[in-house]
Chain A
Amino acid sequence: MNLPLAHIPSRERRFALSAFLTLACLVASHAILETARDALFLASIPATRLPWLYIAIAATSVAATQLGTRLLGGSGARRLTLMLATAAVITLTLSGALQHAPIAGVYLLYVWTGVQTTVILLQLWTFLGGLFTVVQAKTVYGFVGTGSVVGAIAGSAVARAMTTYLPAEALIGVAGAVMGIAGLSSLLLWQVKTARPKPGTNVHDSLMDCARFVLEQCYARRLAMMVLLGTMTITVVDYLFKSTVAARIPAEDLGSFFATVYLSLNIGSLVVQVLLVGWIVKRFNLSGALAVLPGLAWVGGFAMLVLPGAALLTVALGMKAVDGVLRHTLHRTATELLFVPLTETARRRVKLFTDLGSQKGGQALTSVLLLGLAALELDALLPYLLAGLSTLWVMSMLSIRLPYLGLVRSQLRKSTQLMPLPELDMHSLESMVAALDSDVRQEVLVAMEMLEQENKANLVPTLILHHPDDAIVLHALQMFARTRRTQALPMVQRVAQKRADHVRAAAIRCKHELDEICSPDTMRTDCTTCAPAVRANRLASLVAQGHATDEERQTLLTLAKDGEQSVQESLAQDLRVYNGAPLTPLVAVLLDSPFIPIRRHTLETMDAKRFPDRRPMLVAALRDERTRKLAQTLIAQLDEIGESMVREGLDDATQAVDLRRHLAQAAALFEPQRAADLLQDQLAREEDGYLRYWIIRSLNRVKDRNPKVKLRRTQLEAQAKRTLGRAYRYLGRRVILDSVKGAARETRGFPFILRLLRDKERQSVGRVFLLLNLTQDREDFSNLWRSIRSEERNTSAAGLELLDNALSEPLRSALRGLVEDIPDADRLAYGHSYCPFRSRSYMAVLDELEASQSASIRELTQYHRREIVGVELEETLKAPQPFGEVARVG
């Protein structure tokens, strides 16, 4: 049973109630007027004139809406009240006019009945569309839509009662009075604060402006086409129904006949609205809700084609019943939801166009077709027309889903994923070369670096070695060595003789790399005569070549350990140049340097060729926050060796959990398929929740880098389900603990346990989203999770809407139960498929927590258990907590 008002948040309840009353009175007035109209019209005028009236209604509605918009200014709510009051006055005037000019009055009445409802309903729904988000609308629209049905039933019941004793003309005055009450009900909506239009925003759009807007927007075009085809189908159904009734029912009985039929249809509508609309809209995706009426119309259209002519009346009545029961309930509610993701301006324009252009245009177009068929005496083709139109309507309905989701998705934020850099253009090249002349050191350094990255290092002149800034000369020397600029050797030689100690060392290193290698004797001479950086360089070279004595080795290590930063820096660079293995002790010392750049440079200089067994060093670098990223990159470059290193590290439960986490992150940098296989293997056997989380995150990074990587979906889906169950388990335990009263709540450990369980539940939900991101290609679930948590209500609502459309049951309900803003105890019902809730005692929950895999939970629980020692207290806590039956949802 759907009790919509109870589900509406209190802050929105008052406005929803006001909208409900306004709509109920409006529709009641329409139902009364409609009965009078149809009875009076079909009693005195042939049904074949109906298409002309459809055209007249369409034209008048367009004109009235445009005129009403211009004349009745003010805010949405005020304009609505003015429209309702004007409609009441006109209806009452018509009631009097009918006595003086019966035939003309009936024509006027027919047209007016169609026009007033179109214009006012357009205003009301546009106004409501601006008040609520997609998610709120799903709840509120269901309730407000019920007003339409209640009003229709009340109106047709009044009409049915009155037609028993009074002529149909008497209904018109009553309809005018009810319309006046609708106007009074709308006064409450004046208090709603809607966003003021931005300066320069035109809130009075012409139909042509709207048409242009709709034509430019793909989604709006599809929406308009869907409404157009729906209106055409319904118009044909209406024509078939009324012409059949006019032929079969005596004129004097038409009033009570229509009152009875409309009353029945409206009662059917109420049943659908109360029992089905809320459930269908929330339970199925929007396409499902939208497809019901067109689907049934399609079935009816084809029934007309295949069934014998005698059954035509039955089918026509059946289709009218479907239309009458569903159009203003389920279909209207679902269609209105399609407008909610549009911006306020877009919604106003598209709504105006669909209500006037598509609906009235569709009516007029169908009328022309009907008149054409009648003129050519081709009435037998009507079933074909109906079948064709309903088929197109179904197709248009199905095609709206993807653009709708695209629109909702566009409300979410853009990804921050790194894009590849664009091709280097001449302008950028000029900027970089120009930067070489800059007075600012950093600009010159970056320009050199980027030129080298772009394979344009040859544009850096060798004369840069004359630069007064040592840092720039150092960088240039390294770059010339890397790019093998042998023509720079004469300049390098000058630098090796005349600059500061560490620059000289760099120049010697550069010469070495460019194949100018000194003899051991020259090196030893330099060791005794030169400053520390050059001395260190010479010693490193001797050690690397195997010519060093023990004393020289020791001196080198002392220089590395106690030398100034520039000496250590120089040695770190030496590692890149000289043979690695004999220099391994030097690496260990430099990786311990207090200076971060030296630790980084040391790591950077280590490649597999020079340092075959560098695993311990890389592991050490992983522990250091400043060198971690680099170490992870280096591990990934080791391929098979790196893979075995990561596998062994992850499997080794004796290792610190943070180190294992860093290894999991390093795994994400392997070649994508290798990384995915490794991480999925590990995920399957990892028992530590914290590590599972980082493995899942790493897998997401792998998928981000290569969306086509092959993942084991079955395994990951099973993992997602287990994690979802875990979230509900945490929730259930927390709900039981939180329901306790008395001394246990006052302990120090209690709030910590509650908070930890809540955090664990949230973490589990986050993990489910990450896992879904791996198993589902159509939606970015990590983005959805971020959006759902957003404090910005439209973003959060858009996230929930996409979630609804991306998942199927029971996963959808279970996940919604964890992320929606509802009381904790109510959530439990949604998780039944994954972790059925069972009521148990406080102490039983503590027992479970003490057996948890989480050391934090265990430790806090043990602490809390010690806090609550005391027979009286414990006895109370051993009793099961008083929980009612948790109904299954989802």
Chain B
Amino acid sequence: MLVETPLSGVRDIVLLLRSLPHMEQIDPEDITLLAEHGVPRTFAAGAQLEMCQPSGRVVHLLMGGRIEITRGTHREIVNGTGGVGFAELFADVCPPKAVALVQSTTLELPADFLFRAMEDNFSFVRSAIGANARFLLNLVGGLPQLGPTPEASLAPPAKIGGDSLVDRMSLLAGSVLDQASLDATIALARSMQKVSIERGETLFTQGDASRWWINIVSGRIRCENEAGSVEVADGYVLGVLDTIGELRRSYTARALVDVDAYRVDIEDWLSVIQTHPDLALGLLRMTSRNLLDATAALEAASPIDEVAE
């Protein structure tokens, strides 16, 4: 591993960061920015990672080693590479306790730098949101979750009468868009395409590329894969996590009755969140909270999670 060599300069850190799999989506100049503002730290086995420095809160990017993260009674082990404290930072909750299980090397990043960098460098936000979505999907499983789920929280159930701008904006009200400028809601409302899906029609098939999601206005859709099937109906936002996580569809969706919906294409969505950094950060905060909630929900079932290298 590269980290066996002591890190002495920005260039070493750049080299190392660019070799990490989850950094692939980040623009090279943004990686250099991370390297410049990060502080390499080495922790002996048993040492606790500092999550608060005198200058403010920090997070760690594990570059080699093994870290145990404790949240309440739940423990998670990050092995090899990964983030420590990012979800808590973005969710605006207390940092977790993190202890090195073997000698580990991290890049310590100041929280305020991270937030500022995210405002100016879209690739950070995009990759962080994508990573959260992938983790969430991994936790909640392939099929849509019913009830108050991460997917549903992106937009609340709402009935609309007409198709005016205000009608579309009303459909989006109460969602993460409330945290951003209204221009973002307007832009997204304008870009949404009204679609009608006939009974029996297949929206997408398992394995398709995920390039859009729909806000169901009325109707019922069956989602099925090898694990089983669920039905979703009015107000549900279908297919959002695999789209923003840039994953392939994990189930096949078929209309059980005639469905009216609004479709949001990923390009439009990316364009909106790139134009409105406050929305991007709001989305990041929301997905981070959902991720922590989902992790907590799994606590009873599995006291230790291991995040693969």
A residues near B, CB below 8 A? 413-414, 416, 418-419, 421-422, 424-425, 427-428, 430-432, 434-435, 438, 440, 442-443, 446-447, 449-450, 594, 623-625, 629, 658, 661, 690, 748-749, 752, 755-756, 759, 762-763, 786, 856, 859-860, 863
Question: Could you write out 11 A-B pairs with CB less than 8 Å apart?
Answer: A413-B113, A421-B14, A427-B9, A434-B5, A438-B2, A442-B20, A446-B18, A450-B14, A856-B182, A859-B165, A860-B166
List B contacts of A446 (CB < 8 A).
15, 18-19
Cα distance A658–B268 when bound, in Å?
11
Cα distance A109–B127 when bound, in Å?
74
Q: Is the pair B271, A435 in contact by a Cβ cutoff of 8 Å?
A: no
Q: How large is the interface on B (under 10, 10 to 19, 20 to 34, 35 or more residues)?
A: 35 or more
Q: If A414-B113, A416-B37 touch, does A435 touch B165 (CB 8 Å cutoff)? A: no
Q: Which of B25-33, B143-151, B195-203 contacts A (4 or more CB under 8 A)?
A: B25-33
- Check: B93 CB closer than 8 A to any chain A CB: no
Q: Is the pair B2, A443 in contact by a Cβ cutoff of 8 Å?
A: yes
- Check: B120 CB closer than 8 A to any chain A CB: yes
Q: Is the pair B27, A416 in contact by a Cβ cutoff of 8 Å?
A: no
**Ranked 6 nearest A-B pairs via Cβ:** A443-B19, A446-B18, A428-B11, A759-B181, A442-B19, A625-B270
Q: Is the pair B182, A749 in contact by a Cβ cutoff of 8 Å?
A: no
B residues near A, CB below 8 A? 1-2, 5, 8-12, 14-15, 18-21, 24, 27, 29, 32-33, 36-37, 112-113, 116-117, 120, 164-166, 169-170, 181-183, 186, 209, 267, 270-271, 274-275
The residue on A at minimum CB distance from B18 is: A446
Cα distance A413–B110 when bound, in Å?
11
A430, A435, A856, A863: the one contacting B183 at CB < 8 Å is A856
Q: Is the pair B32, A418 in contact by a Cβ cutoff of 8 Å?
A: yes
Number of A-B contacts (CB under 8 A): 107
Q: If A413-B112, A431-B5, A446-B18 touch, does A624 touch B37 (CB 8 Å cutoff)? A: no
Cα distance A771–B190 when bound, in Å?
30
Cα distance A859–B187 when bound, in Å?
13
B10, B18, B19: the one contacting A421 at CB < 8 Å is B10
Q: Is the pair A428, B12 in contact by a Cβ cutoff of 8 Å?
A: yes
List A contacts of B15 (CB < 8 A).
428, 431-432, 435, 443, 446-447, 450
The residue on B at minimum CB distance from A795 is: B112
Q: If A629-B27, A752-B182, A860-B166 touch, does A427 touch B8 (CB 8 Å cutoff)? A: yes
Q: Is the pair A658, B271 in contact by a Cβ cutoff of 8 Å?
A: yes
B2, B116, B117: the one contacting A435 at CB < 8 Å is B2
Q: Is the pair B164, A863 in contact by a Cβ cutoff of 8 Å?
A: yes
List B contacts of A447 (CB < 8 A).
15
Q: Is the pair A440, B165 in contact by a Cβ cutoff of 8 Å?
A: no
Q: Is the pair B271, A625 in contact by a Cβ cutoff of 8 Å?
A: yes
The residue on A at minimum CB distance from B33 is: A418
Q: How distant is A57 from chain B, measured CB to nearest CB, in Å?
A: 39
Q: Is the pair A755, B170 in contact by a Cβ cutoff of 8 Å?
A: no
B14, B166, B274: the one contacting A749 at CB < 8 Å is B166
List A contacts of B120 (CB < 8 A).
416
Q: Is the pair B274, A625 in contact by a Cβ cutoff of 8 Å?
A: yes
Q: Is the pair A863, B116 in contact by a Cβ cutoff of 8 Å?
A: no
List A contacts of B267 (CB < 8 A).
623-625
B181, B209, B274: the one contacting A594 at CB < 8 Å is B209
Cα distance A515–B53 when bound, in Å?
58
Q: Is the pair A752, B166 in contact by a Cβ cutoff of 8 Å?
A: yes
Cα distance A432–B18 when bound, in Å?
12
Q: If A416-B33, A748-B166 touch, does A442 touch B21 (CB 8 Å cutoff)? A: yes
B36, B113, B166, B181 — most chain A CB neighbours (10 Å): B166
Cα distance A412–B59 when bound, in Å?
20
B12, B209, B271: the one contacting A431 at CB < 8 Å is B12
List B contacts of A432 (CB < 8 A).
15
Q: If A416-B116, A748-B166 touch, does A440 touch B19 (CB 8 Å cutoff)? A: yes
Q: How distant is A451 from chain B, measured CB to nearest CB, in Å?
A: 10
Q: How distant is A440 from chain B, measured CB to nearest CB, in Å?
A: 6
Cα distance A860–B1 when bound, in Å?
58
Q: How distant is B265 from chain A, measured CB to nearest CB, in Å?
A: 11
Supplied contacts A416-B120, A422-B9, 14 more A-B pairs, CB within 8 Å: A413-B112, A421-B11, A421-B14, A421-B32, A425-B11, A431-B2, A442-B20, A594-B209, A624-B267, A658-B275, A756-B186, A762-B181, A786-B116, A856-B186
List A contacts of B169 (CB < 8 A).
752
Q: How distant is B276 from chain A, measured CB to nearest CB, in Å?
A: 10
Q: Is the pair A416, B113 in contact by a Cβ cutoff of 8 Å?
A: yes
Q: How distant is A569 from chain B, measured CB to nearest CB, in Å?
A: 16
Q: How distant is A166 from chain B, measured CB to nearest CB, in Å?
A: 58
Q: How distant is A796 from chain B, measured CB to nearest CB, in Å?
A: 13
List B contacts of A419 (CB < 8 A).
36
List A contacts of B164 (CB < 8 A).
863
Cα distance A513–B19 when bound, in Å?
29
List B contacts of A435 (CB < 8 A).
2, 15, 19
Q: Is the pair B10, A422 in contact by a Cβ cutoff of 8 Å?
A: yes
